[in-house]
């Protein structure tokens, strides 16, 4: 026979969370303890039977009626699940395994039947007692109270234990209506108003910079478990207790105040919800059942720990008065607080020590359980293993204890170990340049360079031509210390010229022949280029032109020139956008180039059988390894036409027909190329390298699915010779973007916070890089070089300041966040908007100017005040000196610039003005096709602005890659 009673609000909330978080195993609550001595199994069994008979909540299960009301069903009888074990013959490791097996036997009992289990294990001098209940029928206090009754009974005090189960015991069913009244009584409106909606929501979904960025197991896994860890506080308990007494606070309040300060390091606005129960009335002091609930508390976090404890104490008093009146908004009933604190108090000197408590008041991410038991006091942390992993959790717990000790002893907080990551330290052997590796590859059969739809040449033939060209160049006076520009399209001839210049001891400067002549002229003047190699009629003022097509190389020596090259000599100079109004020449040494090439060739096991796609413009550093890897491992370099970047069908055909095994691609292009499957195209891809932009997780996952190959995210500024860090994509990744990973060989990284100190795990700051791949400086721009570097006195190491804001993940990998300055990456191109600004100002075309990049519209806008020339003339000047991707999409004349209260330019306001300007002259779509195009553009551009028929797709953020999607 069953009695039916409406469930309490606490039970109703638990039920909803239980049934909406079916992947979480928190429907069972457990507590275990080690008892110093012998326990009588029969007495414990008798006490357990009396408990089940006398306490109705232990015989309660639940059901929902047709109206959605939750009812408690109180059974008249329930079976006793008592297990007695003998572990006297087992060692510590075996006992630990047995305990683990028992706790892992937890089955989802649901709430349709009452559930309990008691295990008693005799370990010789000690005993282990384990209690398991339906989670909806208990709370931490009840678990501890029931455990005490059973321990007392087993320790020869059965009579006293039974006396505590008197007839007048308050049954939980009697309390349910009383608990409901707190949420309905009109006299308690003010108390309920204390818990504002904002407070409830703020504690729910909170970011945590140490949280897991990959699933604990494969993404198909449906089981998500809570795990446990703990830190001993017994060694500091006396200090802790003394500090609490001096400040008229409880030990729990002191620890809570300290935990809040620790959490703010990893969660800026961390809200630590605390569990309070309704046992303040003496008549309820020993009431068994779920009388506890987590409530959001927001005490002010102060730099003074004494004040922080005082604030915690004051908030606790309010929570004790008002906790019964707390209820989440209906829309958030299913959501759990991210961080929760609960506690169990036990007498010092007890013969029993609590080992573990598993009680889940709701679907939290981290639960702190303070188990106060004198010198055996412990802080247990129960955590969602899909939210944070064990390594990060242990790091966090250690940090929490360290901070607590510093707080109560009045010490300055000891900073955690700062992040310093160092790639594998390897030697390059006797090689000084990449040329030695190239020479060793000459004897590999089938090593070649091929142009799609054009010529093919073996490496030995290319080497012979390069030697002849090198001798010709040396004959013209070119040698070590010189800089020679390569104004050639990507071709076999470019490869020959690149090798030839290096063989002379000079540095080569790859130049994009599509750039405006004036920009090329400026770059070569800045580099003081002695000559440039071109094909056909091509002239640069003040620089010797060498027409490759007119040379008769057959009459020059075929042997390798006898030139000694040092590791610090320059291998190449690469020009990137600069904030001073002109491009900067990044000078890279042979040592840097050799270090990078050795790393990438070895890390990814490049081999002669590999076929490398060469598709990146030679003027970008990402192209460097596309040229050199096949030359050094004796593979095949496949030089693709530039159209491959804009024609998906051509891309698929070349990758398939050319049997490409390794290729590099910018994420935005990869996204376009994976829009359609590779059905009908066979491919041999083994690795796709991404770089130049932030790689979205969904893009990487889609690419891995389409190509069934490894996806690698590469990160590195040109100043660090192509790549500084890397991360192999893992399908378990759960973040929006792919991490940039860990340093390559012989490079070290550190992250510096805004205050100048080094960041630790979970913190963020500017990424700084040092090591063998570092550039020699900006060519003939010593002041700019000095600004870009930071010398660390402590380590005596020179670091390059990347200007990139990154976060240190718990496993020491890095996640890119944003730029700290105005530099942007637009479709893989590195742009300094201030270069465009300075061009206008230096030319005297405006009184004031500012070029900005708008993330929402994904384009450049140029604002000017008091123009000295027409808009057409200004744009013509910019087009004559800038590459197409750097020309602003719109020029906007304004009377004044918006400024913030601190005097800084309000760039967000300018971005809004740019968007408004784009919407000027709006004409609504008039046909069905125009309306469909508007929706398509809004989705592709990820903007909500009103798009009309007069809008230019490219002026509002579109680019060639997105245009391909429209087509």
Judge whether residue 175 has pLDDT over 80.
yes
Check residue 961 and give its pLDDT: 53
Under a CB-based contact definition with an 8 Å cutoff, are residues 94 and 2 in contact? Answer: no
DSSP 8-state class, residue 127: E
| 573, β-bridge pairs | 587
The pLDDT tens digits for 50-105 are 998 889 999 998 889 888 889 999 988 887 789 999 999 999 999 999 998 888 77
Check residue 1 and give its pLDDT: 46
CA distance 169 to 166: 6
3-state helix, strand, coil in the chain (%, to 5): 35, 25, 40
Check residue 623 and give its pLDDT: 94
Helix, strand or coil for residue 918? helix
For the ranges 1-5, 130-134, 884-888, the lowest mean pLDDT is seen at 1-5
CA distance 539 to 651: 34
CA distance 261 to 265: 7
- Residues near 221 by beta carbon (within 8 Å), at least 6 away in sequence: 215
- The better pLDDT of the pair 638, 856 is held by 638
Query: What is the chain's mean pLDDT, rounded?
Result: 86
Judge whether residue 20 has pLDDT over 80.
no
Instruction: Report the chain's terminal Cα–Cα distance, integer Å.
Output: 71
Sign of CA dihedral 277, 282, 285, 287: negative
Judge whether residue 220 has pLDDT over 50.
no
The pLDDT tens digits for 694-752 are 898 999 999 998 899 999 999 999 999 999 999 999 988 888 899 999 999 999 999 99
Q: Which of 735, 720, 742, 886 is nearest to 803 (CA)?
A: 720
- Residues near 397 by beta carbon (within 8 Å), at least 6 away in sequence: 229, 230, 231, 379, 381
Q: Which of 394, 372, 391 is nearest to 381 (CA)?
A: 394
Proportion of the chain above pLDDT 70, given as a percent: 89
What is the H or E stretch that residue 725 is in? strand 725-728
The pLDDT tens digits for 454-464 are 899 999 999 99
The CA distances from residue 686 to 609, 611, 664, 673, in Å, are: 12, 10, 11, 17
The phi, psi pair for 206, rounded to 5°, reads: -115, 130
Domains in the chain, ordered, with CATH? Answer: 2-179 (3.30.559.10), 184-408 (3.30.559.30), 435-802 (3.40.50.12780), 832-904 (3.30.300.30), 921-967 (1.10.1200.10)
CA distance 590 to 15: 67
Judge whether residue 925 has pLDDT over 70.
no
HEC string of 621-682 equals CHHHHHHHHHHHHCCEEEECCHHHHCCHHHHHHHHHHCCCCEEEECHHHHHHHCCCCCCCCC
The pLDDT tens digits for 581-601 are 678 899 999 999 999 999 999
Judge whether residue 23 has pLDDT over 60.
no
The pLDDT tens digits for 311-356 are 999 989 888 888 888 877 776 777 888 999 999 998 887 899 999 9
For the ranges 69-73, 712-716, 763-767, 943-947, the lowest mean pLDDT is seen at 943-947
Provide the pLDDT confidence category of residue 435 given band limits of 50, 70 and 90: very high
Sign of CA dihedral 439, 445, 448, 454: positive
Strands (E), 756-826: 764-771, 777-778, 789-792, 797-808, 814-819, 824-826
Averaged over 673-682, what is the pLDDT?
Answer: 73
Judge whether residue 368 has pLDDT over 60.
yes
| 808, β-bridge pairs | 814
Check residue 223 and give its pLDDT: 47
Check residue 282 and give its pLDDT: 79
Averaged over 852-867, what is the pLDDT?
Answer: 83
HEC string of 919-950 equals HCCCCCCCCHHHHHHHHHHHHHHCCCCCCCCC
């Amino acid at each position: 026979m069953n009695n039916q009673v409406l469930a309490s609000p606490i039970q109703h909330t638990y039920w909803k969370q239980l049934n909406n978080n079916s992947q979480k195993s928190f429907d069972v609550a457990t507590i275990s303890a080690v008892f110093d001595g012998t326990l009588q199994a029969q007495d414990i069994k008798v006490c357990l039977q009396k408990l089940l008979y006398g306490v109705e909540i232990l015989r309660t299960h639940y059901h929902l009626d047709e109206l959605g009301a939750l009812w408690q069903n109180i059974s008249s009888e329930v079976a006793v699940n008592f297990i007695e074990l003998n572990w006297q013959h087992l060692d510590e490791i075996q006992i630990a395994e047995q305990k683990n097996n028992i706790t892992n036997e937890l089955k989802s009992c649901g709430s349709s039947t009452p559930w309990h289990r008691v295990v008693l294990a005799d370990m010789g001098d000690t005993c282990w007692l384990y209690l398991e209940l339906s989670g909806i029928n208990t709370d931490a206090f009840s678990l501890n109270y029931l455990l005490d009754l059973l321990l007392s009974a087993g320790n020869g005090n059965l009579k006293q234990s039974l006396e505590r189960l008197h007839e007048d015991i308050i049954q939980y069913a009697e309390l349910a209506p009383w608990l409901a009244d707190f949420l309905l009584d009109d006299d308690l409106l003010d108390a309920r108003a204390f818990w504002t909606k904002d407070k409830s929501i703020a504690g729910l979904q909170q970011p945590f910079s140490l949280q897991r960025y990959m699933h604990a197991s494969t993404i198909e896994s449906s089981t998500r478990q809570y795990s446990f860890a703990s830190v001993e506080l017994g060694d500091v308990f006396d200090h802790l207790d003394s500090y609490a007494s001096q400040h008229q606070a409880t030990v729990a309040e002191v620890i809570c105040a300290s935990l809040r300060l620790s959490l703010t390091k990893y969660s800026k606005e961390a809200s630590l919800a605390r569990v309070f129960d309704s046992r303040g009335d003496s008549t309820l002091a020993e009431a068994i059942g779920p009388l506890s609930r987590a409530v959001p508390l927001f005490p002010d976090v102060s730099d003074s720990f004494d004040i922080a404890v005082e604030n915690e104490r004051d908030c606790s008093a309010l929570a004790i008065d008002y906790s019964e009146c707390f209820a989440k908004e209906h829309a958030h009933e299913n959501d759990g607080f991210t961080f929760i604190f609960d506690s169990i108090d036990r007498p010092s000197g007890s013969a029993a020590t609590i080992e573990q408590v598993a009680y889940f008041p709701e679907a939290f991410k981290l639960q702190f359980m303070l188990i106060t038991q004198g010198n055996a006091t412990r802080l247990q942390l129960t955590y969602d293993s899909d939210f944070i992993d064990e390594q990060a959790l242990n790091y966090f717990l250690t940090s929490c204890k360290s901070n607590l000790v510093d707080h109560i002893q009045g010490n300055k907080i000891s900073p955690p170990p700062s992040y310093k990551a160092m790639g594998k330290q390897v030697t390059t052997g006797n090689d000084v340049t990449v040329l030695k590796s190239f020479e060793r590859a000459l004897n590999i059969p089938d090593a070649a360079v091929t142009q799609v739809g054009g010529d093919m040449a073996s490496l030995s033939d290319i080497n012979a031509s390069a030697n002849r060209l090198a001798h010709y160049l040396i004959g013209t006076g070119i040698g070590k210390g010189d800089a020679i520009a390569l104004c050639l399209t990507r071709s076999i001839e470019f490869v020959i010229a690149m090798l030839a210049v290096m063989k002379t001891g000079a540095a080569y400067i790859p130049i994009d022949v599509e750039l405006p002549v004036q920009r090329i002229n400026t770059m070569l003047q800045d580099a003081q280029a002695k000559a440039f190699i071109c094909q056909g009629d091509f002239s640069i003022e003040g620089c010797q032109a060498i027409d490759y097509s007119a040379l008769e190389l057959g009459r020059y020596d075929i042997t390798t020139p006898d030139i000694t090259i040092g590791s610090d000599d320059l291998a190449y100079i690469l020009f990137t956008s600069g904030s001073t109004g002109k491009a900067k020449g990044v000078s890279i040494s042979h040592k840097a180039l050799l270090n990078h090439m050795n790393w990438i060739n070895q890390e990814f096991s490049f081999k002669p059988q590999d076929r490398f796609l060469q598709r990146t413009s030679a003027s970008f550093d990402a192209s460097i390894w596309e040229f050199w890897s096949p030359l050094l491992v004796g593979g095949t370099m496949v030089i693709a036409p530039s159209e491959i970047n804009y024609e998906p069908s051509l891309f698929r055909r070349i990758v398939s027909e050319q049997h490409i095994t390794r290729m590099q691609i910018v994420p935005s292009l990869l996204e376009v190329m994976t829009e359609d499957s590779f059905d009908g195209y066979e491919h041999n891809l083994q690795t796709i390298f991404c770089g130049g932009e932030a790689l979205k997780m969904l893009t990487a996952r889609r690419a891995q699915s389409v190509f069934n190959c490894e996806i690698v995210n590469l990160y590195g500024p040109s100043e660090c010779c192509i790549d500084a860090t890397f991360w192999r994509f893992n399908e378990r990744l759960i973040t929006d973007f792919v991490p940039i990973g860990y340093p390559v060989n012989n490079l070290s990284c550190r992250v510096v916070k805004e205050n100048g100190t080094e960041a630790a795990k979970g913190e963020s700051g500017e990424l700084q890089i040092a090591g063998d791949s570092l550039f020699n400086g900006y060519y003939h721009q010593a002041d700019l070089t000095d600004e870009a570097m930071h010398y660390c006195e402590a380590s005596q190491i020179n670091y390059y300041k990347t200007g990139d804001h990154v976060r240190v993940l718990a496993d020491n990998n890095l996640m890119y966040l944003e730029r700290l300055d105005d530099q942007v990456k637009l479709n893989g191109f590195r742009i300094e908007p201030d270069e465009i600004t300075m061009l206008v100002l230096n030319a005297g075309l405006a009184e004031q100017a500012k070029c900005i990049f708008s993330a929402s519209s994904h384009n450049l806008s140029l604002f000017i005040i008091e123009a000295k020339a027409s808009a057409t003339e200004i744009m013509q000047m910019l087009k004559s000196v800038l590459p197409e991707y750097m020309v602003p999409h719109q020029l906007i004349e304004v009377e004044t610039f918006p400024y913030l209260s601190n005097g800084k330019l309000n760039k967000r306001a300018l971005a809004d003005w740019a968007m408004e300007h784009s919407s000027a002259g709006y004409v609504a779509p008039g046909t069905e096709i125009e309306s469909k195009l508007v929706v398509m553009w809004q989705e592709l551009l990820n903007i909500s602005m009103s798009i009309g028929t007069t809008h230019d797709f490219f002026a509002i953020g579109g680019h060639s890659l997105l245009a391909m999607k429209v087509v």
